Amino acid sequence: MTELRFAIFSELKEFADEIRNRLTAVPGAQVMVIVDDPEDLHEIIKSEAPDVLYADLGHAPHVILDLIESIDAPLPDLLVSGCQDDSQVILRSMQIGAREFLPQAPNEDDFKRAIDRLLRGREADPRPDKTASVISVMGAKGGVGATCVASQLAASLQEKGGRTVIVDLNFPLGDVALHFDIEPSYTLADIAREGESLDGTYLRSILQVHQSGVQILAAPPRIEDSELIQGEHVTRLLEILRGQFDFVVLDVSRNWNDASVRALDLADQILVVTSLDVPTLHHARKHMELLRRLGHPTEKIHAVVNRHSAADSVTDKDLTRFLGRPSSAAIPNDYANTVESVNQGKPLGEVAPRAALTEAFRNLAEQVHVWCGLTTSPDTRAPKLTDRLRRIFEK
C-alpha cells in the first residue's frame, strides 16, 4: 500500500505528539516530521516536501492560515483541524487548498477516512506535474443553455475529485454567479484592475467557494466594467489558475471578442453547446467552421447537444449530416430539475442525484477526462469537496 509522508504542525508540542500517535496507528500514514515553531514551517515544507501537511489551527486560525498561505513552495495535500462552528475559517481553509477540515482533535477514524480519500484521489489522478485542463464552453446561440452546461460540468468535475474553478467570461451579461446562487464580492473587474501585478495569493483570496467545492470568478456586475477586461488579463489569469486547479471551466461569450478568442486559443477543449433545431445548428456550424479556420484541431472541438429529446424533429443523424460529424455528448431536456438546481443554487448531484440529467453531466465529466488524456478508473470515486463541506455544514 502507498504510504503518505506526513508533516504535523501544531504550536502545542504535546498535542502534536498525540496526533503523531494517532496517525502512526493508521495504515497508509507515516509521520516524517513535527513542527511546533511557526517560523520553521516554511523551511521544513521546502526541504522535506512531505506528501501531506496536517495543521492544527489552534486558537488563532487565521494567523495559521496566513502562515500556510505565505508558504512559497508547492503545498502538500493539506489537512487542517479546528473549530467546526466557524464557517469563515472552514471556507478560507478550503480556499487555500485544504483537502479536509477535520474536528479539533481528530481521532484515528477521522484520519483513516481522510487518508483513504487522499489515496483514492491520487489513484484517480496520476499526473505527476499537474496543470489544469482548460475547458471553454460556448453557446451556439443565445439561451441554448451554455451557462447551465458550464456550471453543471464544473460541479460534476468537482464531484469526481478534481479541484475545479469556473470563470465567467460571458460578459457583459454573465450570470454564472446566479447559477451558483452567490453574490460575488470580487469579480473579473478586480483581476483587470490588478493588471500585471496579479498573483496567485491575491487570486486565491478573491475566488468565491460554492458549497459544492467549485470555486467561482464572476463577471463584473456593472456592464461598463466589462470594458476593463482585455485578452492579456485572460492569459495571465489562466496561467495562474492552471497551476492551482485540476480543471478550469470557462463560460465564454460567443461574440468573438478579445477575451473569448484568447479563452478559446488557450483552451484544451472547446464545447460548442447547441440544440437540435435548424437555426441553432446553423450557428453551431458557423462557430465550428471559424474555429477550424483559426487553426483549432478538430479533436479539440466538441458539439454538445443540450435539451436533447427523442421528440425533437431534427434527429442525431441530421446533426451528423449538417455538422459533418456526430455530437460528442447529449444532455436531456429536463426543465424542472435544471430550474430547481439554479433556484436552490445547488448542483444537480444534490438536487436530483438519480435523474437522467445528472447522469448525463457525470458522463460528460467522464468524457472530459478522456478528451484531456486523463485516465480514470470508473469505480474510484475520488474525495469530494461537496461531501466534505456538506458533512461539515450539516453538523
Number of residues interacting with ligand ATP: please give it, by CB under 6 A. Answer: 18
Which is closer to ligand ATP, CB of 173 or CB of 278? 173
**Smallest distance from the beta carbon of 124 to Mg ion, in angstroms?**
30
Q: Which set of grid coordinates corresponds to residue 220?
A: 463584473
Task: State yes or no: residue 136 binds ligand ATP (CB under 6 A).
Answer: no
Is residue 366 a contact partner of residue 327, using CB atoms and an 8 Å limit? no
**Footprint of Mg ion (CB under 5 A):** 147
Nine-digit cell string for 192 = 483587470
- Cβ 51 to ligand ATP, closest distance in Å? 40
User: How many other CB atoms sit within 10 Å of the CB of residue 299?
Assistant: 8
Q: Which does 339 bind (CB under 5 to 8 A by kind): Mg ion, ligand ATP, none?
A: ligand ATP
* d(C-alpha 210, C-alpha 180), whole Å: 7
Grid look-up 487522499 returns 118
Q: How far is the CB of 290 from ligand ATP (least distance, A)?
A: 18
The answer to whether residues 272 and 305 touch, using CB atoms and an 8 Å cutoff, is no
- Which listed residue (125, 168, 190, 334) binds ligand ATP by CB under 6 A? 334
Q: Read off the C-alpha cell for 219.
A: 463577471
Q: Is residue 142 close enough to count as binding ligand ATP by CB under 6 A?
A: yes
Q: Is 8 in the site for ligand ATP (CB under 6 A)?
A: no
Least separation in angstroms between residue 356's CB and ligand ATP is 10
Choice from 148, 217, 352, 368 touching ligand ATP (CB under 6 A):
148
307 binds ligand ATP (CB under 6 A): yes
Subset of residues 213 to 272 that bind ligand ATP, contact rule: CB under 6 A: none
Per the DSSP assignment, residues forming a β-bridge with 217 are 167
Cα→Cα distances 217→170, 221, 224, 251, 395, Å: 12, 12, 18, 11, 28
Cell of 12: 502545542
Q: Closer to ligand ATP at the Cβ: 139 or 383? A: 139
The piece of 55-63, 99-107, 146-154, 294-302 that touches ligand ATP (CB under 6 A) is 146-154
Task: Please state, in angstroms and rounded to a whole number, the distance separating the CA atoms of residues 253 and 357.
Answer: 24
Give the nearest residue (CB) to Mg ion. Answer: 147
Q: Residue 36 — φ and ψ, nearest 5°? A: -120, -5
Q: Is 170 in the site for ligand ATP (CB under 6 A)?
A: yes
- Within 10 Å of residue 324's Cβ, how many Cβ atoms? 11
Select the residue interacting with ligand ATP from 41, 90, 144, 191 (CB under 6 A).
144
Q: Tell me the HSE value of 68 on the side-chain side, using a 13 A CA sphere.
A: 30
